[in-house]
Structure 1
Amino acid sequence: MRIALDLRIALLPGYTERGFGVYTSNYAKALLENDIKNEYYLIGYQNLADLKLPKVPQERIKILYPLLPPLLAKASYKSLQRYEKNKINDFVRDNKIDILLMFSSGDRDYRVNTEGQHKTIMVCHDLIPLLFREHYLQKDKDFRAYMNHLKEFEKADWIITNSKSTRRDLLSEIYFPKQKVTPVYPGVKLIKTQEEYDFCNKETRPEEYLLYAGGFDYRKNVKLLLEAFRNLAKDRQFNKNLVLAGGIHQAAVDEIEKFMRENNLEERIEITGSISDAKLRFLYENAFAYVFPSLYEGFGLPLIEALEYNCPVIAARNSALAEFGDDMVLYFESDNVEDLIAKIKMLENDPSLSWKMLA
């Protein structure tokens, strides 16, 4: 069969290193490396090579256009939708594609394409905008647009979700045969190069620290972690620091720095900003614990990454986060700061607990 992979979501600014992009690139790599029976075709933008996928003949690759500056892309959004859909239709038709696998269908701005004789498989990453409508879909027109896009899943021949939790959420909102919705978990990108190993071996960090790595939008609930850390830091016996890793917009930086000043925590909290994979691995491997306070995750890649690097995990018990951890994760009740504090103290007071969790 001829299978076309729509990889656009992994190439957009802000998505490449987050869940959508990592899921898409890992899935594509797994297919290209392991499936020798089918022919694969790739659809993306001019930065497609950044995904470092196994080589595919040039005639099987469709580059739509160079990525546009965000403001220009937003202003030209509807025109770009039509252009992309037409180009993809032509590519699918001209190459007699049997299956179009769309990874770009997890956000409200995805471009749906279901025309032609081929079968369409769509990937749903989460329903976060709908579940947190008051934060992401405040305007009625945005809500209506999101619901219309969500209904496009009903046109698919098959749907893949990144977790059982996302599958359950999606089936509660659309009419679709549940036997045609399959959870497929994402892989984790582990650090393998000698250069990155060398970085980790020469880096040093004497103090113990709690680690959070991820986004900083509302649902990530970083404020709860900050509140818990402030209360813990009042105890002179508590000598852990807090490291906040990952890309963060300036408004969030300003808010966190204000919190640090008001609570005299400038020497106890570090904001790293965007970091390399090698640096992230180092932070995981040397952390006292990784704390994941998120209110909802379609999958929650950092939880799995932390476990792969033998880092104890303390996570909120909700959505997909409660799906994978079992006894390997110390769970606290969502949005309960006292329970989070209790779990951090539990891990601190019983050093053997870390080994039991990771055994």
Structure 2
Amino acid sequence: MKIGFDMAFALTPANNRGVGVYTRQLIKAIQPLSKDYSYYYFRPNSSNTEDLSRQLKAFISQNNIELYHINSTFDYYNSHALQRNWFGNARLAVTLYDIIPLLFENQYLPLPHMKKHYMQNIEFVKSCDMIFVISDTTRKDAVEKLNIKPEKIKVIYGALCEHFSDESILSATTWNGSTKPYILYVGGCDYRKNLDRLIAAFAKVNHRLKSKFQLIIAGNIPEDQRFFIKLNIKKANVTDDVLFTGFVSNEELIQLYKGSELFAFPSLYEGFGLPVLEAMACGVPVLTSNSSALKEIAGEAAYLINPKSIDDIAQGMEHLLTNAEIRNTLVNRGFERVQQFQWTNVAKLVLEGYQQLLG
């Protein structure tokens, strides 16, 4: 059987973010389990819609593709809306990570043309034969918010990147950027990441604990966006105790996790929440939200808080920082929890979906 993988995301910024990482890990895990399948990879070389249509049709026809898997329609040059008739008789599978832009329209779809383009992509997703989702939370959103038939949706989850099982990297525990014990946050700074409340909560805790800790914000946050975050830091009077790492390598990221006292991830909404599993794999107690997929992925291995409550976030931080027993309990539960998310399991679920479509 001949499977086509859509690799258009690799030509966009998504290549170095979650979509790119997820897709490469999935492709790597699938191939050893499906020796009866042949895989082909489509990389468009034009941003023109007519050229894209022509190239796709030629790729499907010339390679006799029976099933085509689109890994992200929303990163398709951020301008195209794919059309079902471009794919001929090939069955279509698509991965849907979340519908966050639709849930927070004012922040992510503020202009009419942005909303129109997003909904065109949604309509294409709905036209596909199978929709893979990375959490039950996303499945529920797809059914309730998009009116997608439940039988078209298959939950496949996600897993850790392979470097989180590399013992030589995991053994490194020193990160030299801080001057005090630190709380770690990893991720972006867009609205749903909830950095304003995280900083305000940290300030409350640190003032109560006599400025004993620092908050490290890890990730490649642009300087113009960092400027506004710093205004909140200054307002909270914790300027000396909040640090930005900028871009970090895989090795540095693991060092940051392993050196932290606590991983804080009070996001308003996630379709999966991979950093939660990353922290658990590194033996760090996790504080995260009691909503969206974060509650689902964390299970009972994290301290759950209301992400909209600064007081709740602060109380959770203080409780974990000052209670060794609960910290140790969560660390042990975390090690067990991450074992439930393996790429081999993800690949098997995806292959089940392929077989269901191809008969």
Which band: TM-score by shorter chain? 0.7 to 0.9
Read off the aligned partner of 1:227 and give its amino acid letter. A
Map of 1:232 onto structure 2: 205
Residues 41-86 of structure 1, C-alpha deviations (whole Å, 9 max, x = no match): 1123xxxxxxxxxxxxxxxxxxx338xxxxxxxxxxxx52332232
CA shift for structure 1 position 265: 2.5
Q: 1:219, 1:202 → 2: CA distance?
A: 30
Q: 2:212, 2:174 → 1: CA distance?
A: 24
Higher relative contact order by CA 8 Å / sep ≥ 6: 1 or 2?
2
Instruction: Report if the CA contact (8 A) 1:212-1:245 is conserved.
Output: yes
CA shift for structure 1 position 271: 0.4
Range with bigger deviation, 341-350 or 262-271: 262-271
Instruction: Report if the CA contact (8 A) 1:160-1:184 is conserved.
Output: yes
TM-score normalised by structure 2 residue count: 0.84
* Equivalent position SS for 1:328: coil
Q: 2:31, 2:16 → 1: CA distance?
A: 20
- CA change 1:206–1:32 in 2 (3 A) is farther
Map of 1:126 onto structure 2: 98
- CA change 1:197–1:312 in 2 (3 A) is closer
Alignment map for 1:151-166 (pairs within 5 Å): 151-166=123-138
CA shift for structure 1 position 136: 1.2
| 1:143 has 2:118 as partner | no
| 1:26 has 2:6 as partner | no
Instruction: Report if the CA contact (8 A) 1:11-1:21 is conserved.
Output: no
TM-score normalised by structure 1 residue count: 0.84
Map of 1:291 onto structure 2: 264
Instruction: Report if the CA contact (8 A) 2:272-2:297 is conserved.
Output: no
Q: How big is the alpha-carbon RMSD for the aligned residues of Structure 1 and Structure 2?
A: 2.2
- CA change 1:202–1:311 in 2 (3 A) is closer
Range with bigger deviation, 230-239 or 152-161: 230-239
* Equivalent position SS for 2:245: strand
Identify which of 175, 178, 190 aligns with 1:217.
190
Map of 1:257 onto structure 2: 230
Map of 1:91 onto structure 2: 59
Q: 1:305, 1:193 → 2: CA distance?
A: 13
* Equivalent position SS for 2:208: coil
Q: 2:112, 2:202 → 1: CA distance?
A: 37
Instruction: Report if the CA contact (8 A) 1:122-1:156 is conserved.
Output: yes
Runs of 4 or more above 4 Å deviation: 192-198, 201-206
Unaligned runs of 5+ in 1: 45-63, 67-78
Read off the aligned partner of 1:215 and give its amino acid letter. G
Instruction: Report if the CA contact (8 A) 1:27-1:187 is conserved.
Output: no
Higher helix share: 2
- CA change 1:26–1:121 in 2 (3 A) is same
Map of 1:65 onto structure 2: 45
CA shift for structure 1 position 175: 4.3
Aligned length: 326
CA shift for structure 1 position 335: 0.9
| 1:318 has 2:291 as partner | yes
Residues 264-288 of structure 1, C-alpha deviations (whole Å, 9 max, x = no match): 4332111011110100011111111
